[in-house]
Amino acid sequence: MTTTVLAAEEFVPPSAPDFWQPLVGDGAFAITRPMVLMVLSVVVLAVVMMAVTRRLAVVPGRGQYRAEGVYGLVRNSVARDVIGQEHFKPYLPLLFTLFTLILLNNLFGIIPVLQYPTMSRIGFPLALALAVYVVYLVAGVRRRGATGFVKSLVPPGLPWWVVPVVFILEMVTFLITRPVTLTLRLFGNMFAGHILLLLFALGGEFLLLHGDGIIKIVSIPAFLMFFLFTAFEILIAFLQAYVFILLASVYIAEVYSDAH
Amino acid sequence: MTGDIAILGYGLSAIGPGVGIGLIFAAYVAGVARQPETRGVLQTIAILGFVLCEQLAIFGIALAFVFSGQ
């Protein structure tokens, strides 16, 4: 048996390059699969939201009822509880858009045929995190002014020699850690979840087609795990969309808290 | 045996968050068992703690793929 045949028989685990899927063109200006999915998600959301809110009624129909359920989750249990009664209104459109967009794009990871979580390419969560970043910085500067905002980073009542250290730490948290973690959390969860699905699917296929004799049976638990983790991904999709707007509103809420 | 030592680093980085998330949800369960009416408030706090803890493991997996194959 030659080495080339041996290489074909070996199992190739899924890795990061599997997520690079250009549809048109190649290189930096290629139109890739996540780009198409992102456009699709925007179109779907726009059509659905306009359809369910065209004729708003006091007694809601089925579509309006469901849309109000999602809106109520964002408005009541995230924005109002975290940001506070007086200040949450201007941020509702942003939070609701982020929630629906991230949720739909995450669910694309398990919808058959689409089956690609858009957020597993780091550019997409990065753009969303930067939007939140700009919003909470601008909100902070608007509320306190540039110098007041910088001063508010350090909690009052510290001994003078701690102030520079705390200031640097808070500055790094505000300007670097928050956007980076916001991006990496969404990206990492969707990427790791999808690579796990790929592993079970490819592993099961390899065992079934290339395993000999009794080994073929082992592919059954691999496929079972694939189904199990597909169901688990629905939970993760909801949780990550929820967590993204929860953290966004926590960052915005800090602008309005006077204790810090 | 072949493999990538970067993935081993991911395994190590998952230990801390694993313990931490366990502690957070243990405290959440205990809190809800003592005072079931605080469930809504505690849930938000628990999820917030969970994601702040989880981000270390997420850094781990991101860096594992960055440094693999070098």
Name the residue facing B48 among A77, A191, A246 (closest C-beta): A246
Q: Please, which residues bridge with residue A22 across strands?
A: A32
B8 at A interface, C-beta within 8 A: no
Give the count of domains, chain A: 1
Residue B70: the pLDDT is 61
Among B55, B64, B48, which Cα is nearest to A187's?
B55
Confidence grade of residue A7 (pLDDT, cut at 50, 70, 90):
very low
Q: Which parts of A122-218 fold into alpha helices (H)?
A: 123-151, 163-172, 178-210
Q: Which long-range contacts (CB under 8 A, 24 or more apart) does B7-13 make?
A: B7/B64, B7/B68, B9/B60, B9/B63, B9/B64, B9/B67, B10/B57, B10/B60, B10/B61, B10/B63, B10/B64, B12/B60, B13/B56, B13/B57, B13/B59, B13/B60, B13/B61, B13/B63
Residue A202 in tokens: 């490819």
Distance set, CA A254 to CA A74, A91, A127, A240 (Å): 18, 13, 22, 21
Q: How far apart are CA A213 and CA A217, in angstroms?
A: 8
ipTM of the complex: 0.83
Residue B50: the pLDDT is 92
Question: Residue A236 contacts by C-beta under 8 Å, 6 or more apart in sequence?
Answer: A106, A189, A190, A193
Are the C-beta atoms of A89 and A70 separated by less than 8 Å?
A: no
Name the residue facing B58 among A15, A188, A239 (closest C-beta): A188
Taking the alpha carbons at both ends of chain B, their separation in whole angstroms is 18
Q: Which parts of chain A fold into alpha helices (H)?
A: 3-9, 33-53, 62-72, 92-107, 123-151, 163-172, 178-210, 219-256
How many Å lie between the alpha carbon of A191 and the closest alpha carbon of chain B?
9
- To the nearest 10 degrees (0 to 180), the angle between helices A123-151 and A219-256 is 30
How many Å lie between the alpha carbon of B30 and the closest alpha carbon of chain A?
22
Chain B residues lying within 8 Å of A188, measured CB to CB? 58-59, 61-62
Helices (H) then strands (E): counts for chain B = 3, 0
Are the C-beta atoms of A68 and A52 separated by less than 8 Å?
A: no
Confidence grade of residue A135 (pLDDT, cut at 50, 70, 90):
very high
Confidence grade of residue A25 (pLDDT, cut at 50, 70, 90):
confident
Give the best-scoring range by mean pLDDT among A1-15, A145-159, B43-57.
B43-57
A187 at B interface, C-beta within 8 A: yes
* Chain A from 61 to 80: CB within 8 A of any B CB: 77
| Tokens 């009794």, located at residue | A214
How many Å lie between the alpha carbon of A185 and the closest alpha carbon of chain B?
6
Chain A residues lying within 8 Å of B58, measured CB to CB? 181, 184-185, 188-189, 192
Could you report the per-residue pLDDT of A202-239, keeping only the tens digit for each? 888 888 888 888 888 888 998 999 999 999 999 999 99
* Chain B from 49 to 68: CB within 8 A of any A CB: 51, 54-55, 58-59, 61-62, 65, 68
Residue A183: the pLDDT is 93
Confidence grade of residue A95 (pLDDT, cut at 50, 70, 90):
very high
Quote the domain boundaries for residue A49: 3-256
Report the chain B residue with the minimal C-alpha distance to residue A120: B62
Q: How far apart are CA B38 and CA B49, in angstroms?
A: 16
**Rg of chain B over all Cα atoms, to the nearest angstrom:** 16
Which residue would you say has higher pLDDT here, A165 or A56? A165
Among A195, A182, A192, A45, which Cα is nearest to A127's?
A182
Name the residue facing B65 among A16, A189, A239 (closest C-beta): A16
Contact B55 A184 (CB under 8 A): yes
Ordered structural domains, chain B, with CATH? 9-67 (1.20.20.10)
Are the C-beta atoms of A143 and A155 separated by less than 8 Å?
A: no
Q: Output the pTM of the full model.
A: 0.87
Contact B61 A239 (CB under 8 A): no
Q: In the predicted model, is pLDDT for residue B65 greater than 70? A: yes
Distance of CA A94 to the CA centre of its chain: 15
Q: How far apart are CA A67 and CA A90, in angstroms?
A: 19
Averaged pLDDT of chain A:
87
b/e per residue, A207-242, with b = 16+ CB within 10 A? bbeeeeeeeeeebeebbebbeebbeebeebbebbbb
Contact A189 B40 (CB under 8 A): no
By percentage, how much of chain A surpasses pLDDT 90?
A: 45
Q: How far apart are CA A195 and CA A192, in angstroms?
A: 5
Chain B residues lying within 8 Å of A253, measured CB to CB? none
Contact B48 A247 (CB under 8 A): yes
Could you report the per-residue pLDDT of B21-40, keeping only the tens digit for each? 999 999 999 999 999 999 88
B11 at A interface, C-beta within 8 A: no
